[in-house]
Amino acid sequence: MEINEAKMAEPGFWDNPETAQSFINENNRLKKKYDNFNELNEEAEDLEVNLELIEEENDDSMMEEFEESLAQTKSHLEKYRLGMLLNGKYDANNAILEIHPGAGGTESHDWGMMLFRMYTRWADQNGFKLETLNYQAGEVAGIDTATIMVSGENAYGYLKSEKGVHRLVRISPFDSAGRRHTSFASVDVMPELDDTVDIEINPADLRVDVYRASGAGGQHVNKTSSAVRITHEPTGIVVASQAQRSQLQNRETAMNMLKSKLYELEEEKKEQQKAQLEGEQKEIGWGSQIRSYVFHPYSMVKDHRTNYETAKAQDVMDGDLNPFINAYLQWKLSKRNPE
């Protein structure tokens, strides 16, 4: 940090304001980790002193307070340990999250809407700012597609755990016979990238369509502005924005989304080559899900990567995702450090 602070004091540091601000933000995150580490050390030292005092005085009445302090320190340590896993290049960035219903028609469109609600609840409960960038309603119910921006520190680092296919099993509210149905929806998560990240996009590769914003995206969607849809011809990637007040702003937002998608595509290719694994985004259908949500004949939500599960399915749908996110981060950490 001393080296970083010396660099910030150099003449010309602010010649490129965006690069300078990015450097300062990174230094602030580093300082926060350093401070948290020191606080943990102090807590551990206090516990050691208190334990010695209890043993010397043989005072059991002090044990209850000690156990409370120990539990608190364990919680702080676990949070710090998980935070240390968020050291990916863009983990600290805002997150762009997309929901695409899969096989299942109206059932899947409704399931997509349920996931949309789940993520908006989670964002609100955890102090993240939320903006709906694109929202297309389904023909009968739910959504055809939706894209949201989740802004706040480590938004991408946490939400990257949600990338994959989500499976729902329930008694269908759209089936007059009351039969059980299985639905799928795909969730894609990308980091928002600033102008310091250079992704080359050839304008000749783009098809830009302008349309009237529509759909019931709630208060976050501007329903009166001109929306923009951009198709990247070489990859087939499609992005759309209808949240901004002008066509120009929507185009800029859509281009930023495309930039993030192209970056994520390249990262996935590198990961596949390095690990010789299949891509994360498989066909949206049976057998490719990362998490199952079962409402009938019993209540359970289970993550198939970590094996974490809970019977409190409604709590999960109301935004209680942190246990799943924490389990995912622990799982990733254990894969990195098997011992």
Is residue 24 very low, low, confident or very high in pLDDT (cuts 50, 70, 90)?
A: confident
Kindly state the percentage of the chain with pLDDT values over 70: 88
Q: Minimal CA–CA distance to 330: which of 217, 140, 247, 338?
A: 338
- pLDDT tens across 308-323, in order? 999 999 999 999 999 9
Cα 110 to Cα 100, 106, 243, distances in angstroms:
11, 6, 22
Identify which of 308, 302, 270, 273 has the alpha carbon closest to the alpha carbon of residue 289. Answer: 302
The stretch 223-249 carries a mean pLDDT of: 88
285-288 long-range contacts, Cβ below 8 Å, gap at least 24? 285/102, 285/103, 285/165, 285/184, 286/167, 286/182, 286/184, 288/164, 288/165
Question: Given this model, what pLDDT does residue 224 score?
Answer: 53
pLDDT at 219: 46
The CATH number assigned to the domain with range 95-336 reads 3.30.70.1660
Mean pLDDT over the full length of the chain: 85
Residue 2 burial by Cβ neighbours in a 10 Å radius (0-12, 13-18, 19+): exposed
Of 58 and 49, the structure prediction assigns the larger pLDDT to 49
Domain ranges of the chain: 2-85, 95-336
Give the model's confidence band at 225: pLDDT under 50 very low, under 70 low, under 90 confident, else very high. Answer: low
